[in-house]
């Protein structure tokens, strides 16, 4: 499965908002640092279904968490 530029930008944006290092993101998503670095450097966007799901699930969870936090405030 191929990650789109929009998906990668969303992951980068959320990573920046949360001030996560590549290592922290790798630990959180269970995607290897090597894979994340390749994705961010645009060297590798064709990923396994498992990696695709892990990254999308993390992104969705984080946006839901942000939305819930904003409605509480």
Q: What is the pTM assigned to this prediction?
A: 0.85
Percent of the chain scored above 90 by pLDDT?
A: 81
For residue 72, what pLDDT band results from cuts at 50, 70 and 90? low
The whole-number pLDDT of residue 73 equals: 59
Helical ranges in the chain per DSSP H? 5-17, 22-29, 33-40, 49-72
H or E stretch including 35? Answer: helix 33-40
């Amino acid at each position: 499965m191929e990650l789109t530029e929009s998906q990668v930008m969303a992951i980068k944006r959320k990573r920046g908002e949360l001030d996560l290092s590549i290592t922290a993101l790798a630990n959180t998503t269970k995607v290897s640092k090597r894979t994340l670095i390749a994705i961010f450097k645009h060297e590798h966007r064709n990923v396994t279904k498992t990696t695709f799901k892990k990254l999308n699930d993390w992104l969705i969870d984080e946006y839901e968490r942000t939305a819930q936090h904003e409605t509480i405030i």
